[in-house]
Structure 1
């Protein structure tokens, strides 16, 4: 490999790091699967590193330098690619969202981050950490709104959300905040920017009662699935796992209200929240 330059942290470092990885691998005559075997990961994981949809951790950087003979290049530069304004367990997910061509999400307890208003995000983050300084809360809200700016593009990514009715009925931030949040949601639906379905409480037991689910597809990298818990989460790229959880999402869609009935319910709830007094 001809001596690559150190990455400029201001110029999409993960994408540049991925391009250098692809170049170094090809110079060695290795397939993604062959390189993956040598560093104890899947070939699809190597593909995601090369596409910039996964971040390179120091332990992988060290092994890649050893296998590819890159003179410590990846170790020197993986720190720049790992910088993020998001919590550690979610940083890679937020960065992957920005490159996804399609996002399918089931949200059991709250309106998903990409669909939140600033006021709703503020209430959610305050609920997460009641003792956090106000400036910290505002930083978190700013980060969440930056993620939501993905929807400024007229068509990409496709966002298909199945929201549990419980998430819409949990009064987060007060009735005015909920009314604004649901009106924002209906506006996105009405301009055909997102697909939203509501899983009604009357649906009873269903296939995703254990938690939230996010599936992401990419143009030039294998799909990912993100499973989230309390202040934790993990990305999965195992093809069998992704296939299984895609089926879970399909079952949720089948159990949910139609798009038309979902919109009608959300609009009715927004109108209800709009009243100053609870009926």
Structure 2
């Protein structure tokens, strides 16, 4: 389903939820209490600010006695199978974010991946998958990168651990193409990139993948990811701790010009290696 169609389904979910809630005589707070979320969450579902989750939709159906309509909307219209279930909500939110700050300890973030790099990563994680599956996942990652071509693109600040520049994902030619793409985006002032060098020590290893997102019409959110799992965090105290962790990483990272020089050097090394084979 195209982004526009998913957004329309999301908005339909919100409008239908508001209609059914009001018919049942519940306030947002009252419905939220019954389905174990805040009234503010219900409001954000109704305004299509947050993507509805299947378990919440199921409880809404039970409370409003709507014969499973909201759960079906989530499953059939809103869920995007190009992304892992644990990441789908974060993918939707990044299209609405005004600011994204990201730390990548091992791989180039999906928003910056070129097709060849995305394919290499997807194949490595899914060695027995069919071509159709691989193609769908790669297409999803490449489409996410188009956010930088939008007039309303978010401010994007990424910290790459030096690991990201050194591990030859997909081979030297793919790495050269990927790093050169990051250089182009940086020189075009589309993104801000810093590199956290090996000399920064072990703090980054303990932090793991981290993304912070800010919005015009919703509270900030943090997203963390591990192997085959991810967590979207919106508790204000937890988000504040995540922001402090990111600030510490940024303090230890190389300045922007030094970071760019290191990325360019790594790209040149991979390019030379690719041309000699």
Q: TM-score range by the shorter chain?
A: 0.7 to 0.9
Tell me by how many angstroms 1:141 deviates: 0.9
1:78 aligns with 2:46: no
The yes-or-no answer on 1:219 pairing with 2:216 is yes
Partners in 1 of 2:102 and 2:47 — Cα distance? 22
SS of 2:203 mapped into structure 1: coil
| Cα RMSD for the two superposed structures | 2.6
Task: For residue 275 of structure 1, give the secondary structure of its aligned residue in structure 2.
Answer: helix
Selected match of 1:115 from 112, 117, 122: 112
Q: Which moved more, 1:186-195 or 1:201-210?
A: 201-210
> Which of 253, 257, 271 is equivalent to 2:254?
257
Work out which of the residue numbers 141, 145, 148 in structure 2 matches 1:144.
141
1:74-223 → structure 2 map (5 Å cutoff): 74-85=70-81, 86-154=83-151, 156-206=153-203, 209-223=206-220
Correspondent of 1:21 among 17, 22, 29: 17
Deviates more, 1:161-170 or 1:147-156: 147-156
Structure showing the higher helix proportion among its residues: 2
Among 26, 46, 52, the alignment partner of 2:48 is: 52
* In structure 2, C-alpha distance between the alignment counterparts of 1:139 and 1:62, rounded to whole Å: 28
Aligned partners of 1:175, 1:40: CA distance in 2, in Å? Answer: 50
Change (3 A) 1:111 1:206: same
Segments of 5+ residues of structure 2 without an aligned counterpart are: none
- Is the contact made by 2:224 and 2:231 (CA closer than 8 Å) also made in structure 1? yes
* From 260, 263, 268, the counterpart of 1:266: 263
Q: 1:102 to 1:23 in 2, by over 3 A?
A: farther
In structure 2, relative to structure 1, the CA distance for the partners of 1:44 and 1:196 (3 Å cut) is: farther
Quick check: 2:6–2:77 contact (8 Å CA) kept in 1?
Answer: no
The Cα shift of 1:16 comes to: 2.5
Listed as ranges, the gaps of 5+ residues in structure 1 are: 1-7
The equivalent position to 2:245 in structure 1, one of 248, 260, 264, is 248
Question: 3-state DSSP class of the match of 1:110?
Answer: coil
Task: Identify if the C-alpha distance between structure 1 residues 202 and 51 changes in structure 2 by more than 3 Å, giving closer, same or farther.
Answer: farther
Q: Residue 63 of structure 1 is aligned with which of 54, 59, 62?
A: 59
Residue pairs, 1:232-247, within 5 angstroms: 232-247=229-244
Partner of 1:40: 36
In structure 1, the residue corresponding to 2:145 is in which secondary structure? helix
CA distance in structure 2 between the partners assigned to 1:23 and 1:113 by the alignment: 37
How many Å apart are 1:35 and its aligned residue?
Answer: 3.7
Pairwise CA distance, 1:140: 1.3
Per the normalisation by structure 2, the TM-score is 0.86
| Displacement of 1:100 | 1.5
Shift of residue 216, structure 1, vs aligned partner: 1.4
Flag the 1:108–1:76 CA change in 2: closer, same or farther, 3 A.
closer
- Would the aligned equivalents of 1:123 and 1:172 in 2 still touch at CA under 8 Å? yes
Q: CA deviation at 1:220?
A: 1.4
Q: How many residues align?
A: 270
CA offsets 1:197-234 (integer angstroms, 9 cap, x no match): 11111111225624101111222122221111111112
Contact 2:6–2:78 (Cα < 8 Å) also in 1: no
